[in-house]
Amino acid sequence: MKRVILAILLTAVVFGVTGQAKQGKRVKRKYRQTEQENRELPPVLVHGRVHNADSEVLAGASVVVRGTRIGVSTNEEGEYFMKGLTTGIISIQASFVGYRTKIIDYQLREGNNDIYFTLDREEVALEPVTVTSQQREQQLLEIPSGITAVSSSMMTANNIRELSQLAEFVPGLTVREQTPHRPNYVIRGLTSDEVSLSAQPRVSVYYNNTPVSRPSLASAELYDMERVEVLRGPQGTLFGRGAQAGVIHYVTKKAVAGSQGYLSAGAGEYGMQEYQGAVNGTVLPGKLFARVSGIYTTREGYVKNSFGGTLNGENTLGARVSLRYLPFWNTRVDLVVNYQQDDYPGTAFMSKQLPNTNGSTDIFQYEASLEQGKNLGNYRDISGTSLEIKRFRNENNYLSSTTSYMTNYADSRWDGDGTAAPAIDMAEKIDVRQFNQELRYNFSLRSRINGFAGVSYWRERAKQNYWFSPDEQYMSYLLMGIPQLMVNSEGTPVPMTALPPDPQLGPLGGLALPASHSEENLSGALNQAIDAFADATWRMTERLHLTGGIRGTYERFKLTNESRMTGETPSTLGMLTGMSPNLFFRPAAKSEAKTSGIALTYRAVLKYDLNENANFFAGYAKGRRPNVIQFNSAGEREIMNQETLNNFDAGFKTSVAQRLWADVTGFYQLFSDFQTNAWVGNTYLVRDAGKATSYGVEGSLKIALLKNIDLFGNYAWIHARFDSIDSQGNAQEFAGNTFRLTPEHSYTAGINAKVKLYKGFRLFAVPSWSWKSHVWFEDANTAGLEQKAFGMVNATAGFMLENPSVILSVTGSNLLDEKYLISAGNTGAMFGIPTFIPGAPRMLGAKITWTF
């Protein structure tokens, strides 16, 4: 694999600089000079740049020729290029949310024409945000789909450090992180989690245009970020076959020219400590730039374990190195190396049915009795390297190569019964390695059709080891349906040393039960995909745009599985479950299953501009989740049908007077062969739940009320249900049930206020209120495994100095100390003793940040 990666990297580098070596020490040239000297020029070429009064470039600004179909967006350097015009007077317009639109009347001549724009910021205006969700720099206003971008300043103002916190600011997104290696991302009701190594995510996660796919790789600390983009609805043509429900795209800050950075330190309740910072500098003027950032955060768990240690804590170390190299005037190389290590205490899976060792079943006393004590834990080690090379033909036409390699190792051990009894002691190890290579060409055809086309190859090797070590003197209570006898009223375990001499048990009656037994189930997967894709927007008229895209995928999945007894003591209870000499998984030699196929995803969207600051859009997109290979506890294999989604969207976006942003999107989704997860026998498997339908509305609002007062909010209504009958007209098991982890109503509202006391000194406060309606934790909608409607208040406040740039802030989360659940059901639900994870109580902290 290392040789393959090295070969591809060398090829990409050679490709990126081909034809440039002969330039030697030539003076740097502009794009237009190469166009003029090396190619036959069209009658008229227009080059330019858009920046603000402080000479800061505005990437993603819209530049159009009024009265024509010609229009482009500025690139990362704020530059644009147009052709397809003739000589004469034109009116060319540049616009960017938060700035006054500017129109220039210009007399075009043959050859090159330079038209530069300086846009003036409104005194009271919205924060401008550039996104790259369509693989080029654009404004949110330009994207014809439901999209939310949370900027770096928004994350800082609200002290957002985790994706679960950020989700409150994105309509239609729910994130559940009960352990760092198994987060759940939910968009419009679709949950992304995998119970088989061959299962592909419904929500695709990208990191600087690099797919990370598996959630265990995707959950990362949000530090030194540029923004996080969330696209809702199928995004297959933009982000690949795994983007059935949507995309979460992390964009980190890259190395740039100049010296800058920040340092921060914080402390808070439960022994919380947080340190982070970044330094950016120039290594070789005009050639090489570097940025180094890092974070360390630790916090004791908010749940005390009576057997030692705490649960639901944090301990994370992360580092990132970004390099930008400009070998030639038209070539840019970005290298990003990222590392994160998590070493968390165990997860608080707690029983409401059976008491802890204090005799309490109230999980919101935040005290558990899990007998493994400090042996419980969640360890994860992730690293990733990505190399992006761009070679520009001109400002809006360029070829890019993106190469990435990511690894993840996770080791988790948990108590599945949630009591002091050692009935269900479990562990999981995961080892994942992913490689991806993409070649993409971004084009602007006569400045009327803007898009991209390319090919990619993705390969994943994954290993998973489930380990079980039940004490059958307690597991016997669960299998016999009498869990209430497993512990007494003080929470003390009561062993059953032998099976009762019950005639119904036959020869098993009276047999001794072992206190130690261990077994494991091992899986391995090799997943591969080759994609060819294209997506473009055509300006059909001055105001009407047609966006269309298609992606063809050839994919191959191979899954291996084996089970074995690892201890010396065979299971007695295994003779009841039929898995003897094991209890959960019947011993089986290594077996293999494969599947492969070709699939298409596509989209088509119409957008109509009312003016440069408002538009309507409506479209269709097809999404899919590939076939899933899996093995049950008896070692029998099965392949589930692919899940398909037909998605219809319509929406409206506007920016009014640069002070108000509003967007609303309605959607209607039809599913077939819906893949749900359920306990089948002793195994958590994918099941075909048939047909389902979801529809709803998502919206967001931002108002720059006064110069130092901004209001923000979002709302989502999602009606996601299983249909009453399947495609064959048969009644469905989950008919009428609500999708799990999907509140029907949710919203967040907040205010960002600053008060200037005197020159260079300001006070600020950023309170927010988030609310969610009732949530089920399983598609079966099992009574009791649910969370009633609840809301939370979070706030950050403090003061800031301008010179030096220092911010002292105090942050409070869950200020009203709301009692809520992160999870319900889990492993214990299979044996009639569901476990629950309580959400975090009120927490306070303080932080100081110096920006330089």
Counting every residue, how long is the chain?
852
From the list 504, 313, 346, the residue with the least C-alpha distance to 426 is: 346
Q: Which two tokens stand for residue 417?
A: 């019964």
| Dihedral pair phi/psi, residue 607, rounded to 5° | -130, 135
Sort 622 into a burial class: Cβ within 10 Å, 0-12 / 13-18 / 19+.
buried
Per-residue confidence (pLDDT) for residue 28, from 0 to 100? 36
**Coil, strand or helix at 16:** helix
From the list 315, 305, 429, the residue with the least C-alpha distance to 375 is: 305
**Coil, strand or helix at 819:** coil
Residue 223 in contact with residue 293, Cβ under 8 Å?
yes
What single letter denotes the amino acid at residue 35? E
Per-residue confidence (pLDDT) for residue 729, from 0 to 100? 82
What is the rounded CA–CA span in Å between residue 681 and residue 684? 8
Bridge partner list, 643: 625
How far, rounded to the nearest angstrom, does the alpha carbon of residue 787 sit from its chain's CA centroid? Answer: 23
What is the rounded CA–CA span in Å between residue 46 and residue 114? 6
Q: Which two tokens stand for residue 25?
A: 């020490």
Per-residue confidence (pLDDT) for residue 379, from 0 to 100? 96
> Would the pTM count as exceeding 0.85?
yes
Number of helices followed by number of strands (H, E) in the chain: 8, 52
807-846 burial: b if 16+ Cβ within 10 Å, else e:
bebbbbbbbeeeebbbbbbbbbbbbebbbbbbbbbebebe
Per-residue confidence (pLDDT) for residue 4, from 0 to 100? 43
Positions in the chain whose pLDDT score sits under 50: 1, 3-39, 41
Tokens 């389902």 appear where?
692
SS (H, E, C) 91-126: EEEEECCCECCEEEEEEECCEEEECCEEECECCCCC
HSE (CB half, 13 Å, CA atoms) of 813?
16
| Dihedral pair phi/psi, residue 153, rounded to 5° | -65, -35
328-364 burial: b if 16+ Cβ within 10 Å, else e:
bbbbbbbbbebbbbbbbbbbbbbbebbbbbeeeeebb
From the list 363, 342, 341, the residue with the least C-alpha distance to 352 is: 363
